[in-house]
């Protein structure tokens, strides 16, 4: 009895998480009926995905997501390095806790709140006009791909800080002292020492942002212009249109993308190294 109880979370996750996601592959080849689907084998849903504007949308959302990953890394990772390197050990977690704060506000509010900030008459334009930096309101920052990228960076930046912070556990402080003593220039320290050691964590954070940029439908829905679509939005629109096989095909494609990325990452950097702090 006691032993069985300890297996409960594993059983639950297998049954309600791993199983449904694995079954998406099966359901994606089912035949679509009027309101539902029936067992069968057809690649119609995949055809529907790969030979239409959906593929183009999917690829462009991948591109936007990649830009978000790079921007989030540039802004977020230095924070992780700074905290690990300069803040006393006991206080490090407290500084990192600050980045949980935005994460505690509902996603829909954070994303919606960007509208009054970025729109034509919004905060950013008002302040810039007031300061005389611009004479015309900037309109490319909302209802455009750029708007989606801004939303992605602001939504997911804390994750690169967390992942970077975990990753920097692999870079002991004395390494910086050795580099200093040997007179290594800053960029060499970064490229030759920090990056290789912290790579697994950085990669995990990057995959997280990339996949969520592809999968969170709210972002293009609220911040994107006409035609801004990512995988999550294709899936939810398919569900709304009662095209369940298509939704499942999108899910299966997303899961394949995710697993493929994690596999590549694992082969390149051994992702289990990230877990060393909790072992």
Partner 1 sequence: MGDDYSSVWSYRLKWLYTLLVVFTLMLPVFYVIYVSFNQNGFGAAEYVFTFEWYGEIFSDLLLLGALGNTFILAGITLAVAVPMGLIAAKFYKATEAKLLTVSLLLSPLFVPADILGSALLVFFKNLNIACATIGEWLGVSWFDTWFELGYFSALVGLIIYTLPYIFVVILITMGRYNEQQTEAARSCGATAWQAFVQVEFPQIRAGVFSACAFAVILTFNEYTRTSLLKGGYDTITSVLISQMLNEGMSEQSYAMSSLISFIAIALIGSIILYTLVQSERLEREARAKAEPVMSG
**DSSP for 10-45?**
HHHHIIIIIHHHHHHHHHHTSEE-SSSEES----HH
CA distance 23 to 17: 10
CA distance 184 to 178: 9
**CB nearer partner 1, residue 198 or residue 212:** 212
The length of the chain is 279
Q: Least separation, in Å, of the C-beta of 24 and partner 1?
A: 5
**CB nearer partner 1, residue 43 or residue 86:** 86
CA distance 111 to 218: 8
Q: Least separation, in Å, of the C-beta of 209 and partner 1?
A: 10
Q: Least separation, in Å, of the C-beta of 104 and partner 1?
A: 5
Backbone angle region of 229, left / alpha / beta, with phi > 0 → left and psi within -120 to 50 → alpha: beta
**CB nearer partner 1, residue 197 or residue 219:** 219
CA distance 201 to 207: 10
Q: Least separation, in Å, of the C-beta of 196 and partner 1?
A: 19
Which residue in this structure is represented by tokens 């960076």?
Answer: 153
**CB nearer partner 1, residue 189 or residue 198:** 189
| Closest by Cα among 201, 203, 202, 235 to 216 | 235
Q: Least separation, in Å, of the C-beta of 238 and partner 1?
A: 8
Beta bridge partners of 31: 38
**CB nearer partner 1, residue 53 or residue 104:** 104
CA 150: distance to chain centroid?
A: 13
**CB nearer partner 1, residue 55 or residue 95:** 95
Q: Least separation, in Å, of the C-beta of 242 and partner 1?
A: 11
**CB nearer partner 1, residue 22 or residue 268:** 22
Q: Least separation, in Å, of the C-beta of 230 and partner 1?
A: 9
Alpha helices in the chain (DSSP H): 2-6, 8-13, 19-28, 44-50, 53-86, 89-97, 100-103, 107-112, 114-118, 123-131, 145-167, 173-182, 186-188, 195-215, 218-223, 231-240, 244-269
């Amino acid at each position: 009895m006691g032993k069985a109880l300890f297996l409960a979370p594993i059983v639950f996750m297998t049954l309600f998480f791993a199983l449904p996601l694995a079954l998406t592959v099966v359901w994606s080849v089912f035949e679509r009926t009027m309101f539902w689907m029936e067992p069968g084998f057809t690649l119609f849903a995949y055809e529907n995905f790969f030979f239409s504007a959906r593929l183009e949308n999917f690829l462009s959302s991948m591109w936007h997501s990649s830009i978000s990953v790079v921007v989030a890394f540039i802004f977020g990772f230095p924070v992780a390095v700074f905290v690990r390197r300069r803040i006393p050990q006991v206080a490090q977690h407290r500084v990192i806790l600050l980045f949980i704060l935005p994460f505690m506000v509902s996603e829909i509010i954070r994303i919606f709140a960007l509208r009054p900030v970025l729109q034509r008459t919004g905060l950013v334009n008002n302040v810039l006009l007031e300061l005389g930096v611009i004479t015309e309101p900037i309109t490319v920052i909302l209802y455009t791909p750029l708007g989606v990228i801004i939303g992605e960076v602001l939504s997911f930046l804390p994750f690169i800080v967390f992942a970077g912070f975990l990753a920097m556990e692999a870079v002991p402080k004395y390494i910086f002292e050795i580099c200093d003593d040997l007179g290594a220039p800053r960029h060499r320290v970064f490229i030759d020492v920090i990056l290789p050691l912290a790579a697994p964590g950085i990669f995990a954070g990057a995959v997280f942002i990339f996949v969520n940029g592809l999968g969170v439908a709210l972002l293009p829905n609220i911040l994107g212009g006409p035609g801004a679509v990512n995988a999550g939005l294709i899936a939810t629109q398919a569900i709304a249109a009662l095209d369940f096989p298509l939704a499942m095909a999108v899910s299966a494609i997303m899961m394949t993308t995710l697993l493929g990325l994690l596999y590549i990452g694992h082969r390149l950097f051994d992702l289990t190294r990230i877990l060393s702090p909790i072992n």
